[in-house]
Chains A and B, each alone.
Chain A
Amino acid sequence: MRAIWKSWERAVVPLFILVAWEIVSRSGLLPAALLPPPTVVLHAWGDWVFGFDETSQGNSGRWLADALSSAMRVAAGYGIAAVSGILLGIAIGWWRWVERTVEPTIQMLRPVPPVSWIPLAIIWFGIADKPAIFLVFLGAFFPVLMNTIHGVKTADRNLIRAASMMGATEQQLLRHVVFPAALPSIFAGLRIGIGAAWMLTVTAEMVAVKSGLGYVLWDSYYFLRYDLVLASMASIGLLGYATDGLIKLLMSMALHWQHGSTLQSREG
């Protein structure tokens, strides 16, 4: 009994929402066109993915291509943000002069919402992948950067002493002590960053790009296809969930040494 509950635990809330939604939307409380029931959404989504009966019209069978173009933008922008955020974060956290020269500028840019860069991104990069990648980069960069800085600054000074007592050069300290010590914090930043990355790809696709899940979402809105709007939203949610899962997996592999020593490591 317990085992059965355990395996269904995570499905309970989504199932409940789906059933309630189906009932509400079939009851006629709202016009069916404004809130299509899950079955209708699923039907349109199925056609979008597999292209069996043209319910989703021009989008029929094109889901994989749409999802891939969104995912590629996320991967590119997020990858650049992760690498540069980690490197710059370590430099800011470690060298005071880098902190003094770079930090004020960064702190001024940080509160500017990434979406407000859209006009400039479009005139600089045109309507294509680049403005979306740029936006994703902006969204993911700051969380990774801030968390890396925090991780470096809170690294145990005694570990650095111990390593320099074993003859470590500055470069070796950064690589063999500071980076691993900051890793838990860096991963926290990476996980916040991936959420921001999906949010900004979709935003960019709604205004500045002519493909991807965000584009389908906005396009379907113009054609009053709320079933496809909902299917896009669900697709984004699923892909976001999957990429976060991937990062969590990476994290548990990289931080396996924490097993048993933190609260988090109790998780199943």
Chain B
Amino acid sequence: MASIELKNITKVFRDAKRKRDLLAIDDVSLSVEPNQFLCLLGSSGCGKSTLLNMIAGFEKPTGGSVTVGGKPVDGPGADRGMVFQQANLMPWLPVWENVAFHLRLKGWRKADRRAAAQEYIDMVGLRGFENHFPAELSGGMSQRVGIARALLLNPQVILMDEPFAALDAQTKMDMQEELVAIWQKQRCTIVFVTHSVDEALVLGTQVAVLTSRPGRVRELIDLDLPRPRDITSQQFNDHKRHILNLIREEGMQQRREAKAEVTAEASRQGAAA
């Protein structure tokens, strides 16, 4: 049974102010098998976050259905872990309390929470920072806390929305390596949103290339590259060239459509005048 199943998802945003509807997602179907690492790749505004938010349960699809582990999604819940672009840590709690926040909600005693948090703090390499507050952490460290917090739920599915976008190149590389190591150890399904072709190719077992507005799946690519991924290898670059071509075509298509629209508009106005 698939871990995540998206069936004919559409999403329309009502723009009340401009009295216009925006079709953000148009008929997306995806099925993610257990233990896959799926990267959603697409340009800004193409609906990656919207798609992920529907799996998370923050947004409801206008049409179609989302199931996780066979159960339809009807709201956020602890069966899925989420790592946000901004780490979104509770600034009033020290690192270990943030990691163990779920256990606080479950009413665990402090000593038990503290003990349970340690395993995940060690896993993301933050030993020694347990009692720091989020304001005292660097961006990369905050992101690690966010990941540890999601792992502690021990979820079958982890959703990540451009979690490394704000990091510098070196930190990003380290975090990508760590994430892959954690994923291999934990055996969970990851859906990872990114707009970087390299990142998708370094991390994923599958890459879904999305079209820009409305978002559709342009192509679902299976990656069978050996790990650790070698970004200078022939295979890696073949994939990269292929994806970049898709994106370029997509961009040209868009510009043509935009131009056609402008021309049509102009001729309409010309006819009216």
Contact = CB atoms under 8 A, between A and B. Distances in A.
A156 B88 contact: yes
A164 B104 CA distance: 13
A165 B90 contact: no
B84 A261 contact: no
A79 interface: no
A162 B136 CA distance: 20
Contacts of A255: 92
9 contacts: A158-B84, A161-B58, A162-B84, A164-B77, A165-B76, A165-B78, A255-B92, A257-B91, A257-B93
B49 to A, nearest CB: 12
Contact of A167 (B58, B90, B105, B149): B105
A258 B90 CA distance: 12
B76 A161 contact: yes
A89 B135 CA distance: 27
A interface SS class: helix
Nearest to A167: B78
A180 B90 contact: yes
Given A165-B76, A166-B101, A159 B88 contact: yes
Interface residues of B, number: 28
B101 A163 contact: yes
Contacts of A163: 90, 101, 105
Interface of A: 156, 158-159, 161-168, 172, 176-177, 180-181, 183, 255, 257-261
A100 B32 CA distance: 44
A158 to B, nearest CB: 5
A261 B91 contact: yes
Given A167-B102, A176-B105, A261 B76 contact: no
Interface of B: 56, 58, 75-78, 80-82, 84, 86, 88-94, 101-102, 104-106, 133, 135-136, 149, 153
B interface SS class: loop
B144 to A, nearest CB: 15
A109 B81 CA distance: 46
B76 A164 contact: yes
Contact of B135 (A161, A177, A260): A260
Contacts of B136: 260
Contacts of B149: 162, 166
B77 A167 contact: yes
B105 A172 contact: yes
Given A161-B88, A166-B78, A257 B133 contact: yes
Contact of B92 (A165, A166, A183): A183
A165 B76 CA distance: 5
Contacts of A158: 84, 86, 88
A257 B82 CA distance: 24
* Most chain A beta-carbon neighbours within 10 Å: one of B76, B77, B133, B153: B76
Q: Across chains A and B, which 7 residue pairs bring their CB atoms closest together, nearest first?
A: A167-B78, A261-B135, A164-B76, A162-B88, A166-B102, A165-B82, A257-B92
A176 B104 contact: yes
Nearest to A183: B92
Contact of A165 (B77, B89, B104): B77
A259 B78 CA distance: 31
A261 to B, nearest CB: 4
A165 B93 contact: no
A163 B135 CA distance: 19
A168 B91 contact: no
Contacts of A156: 88
Nearest to B101: A166
B92 A180 contact: yes
B135 A257 contact: yes
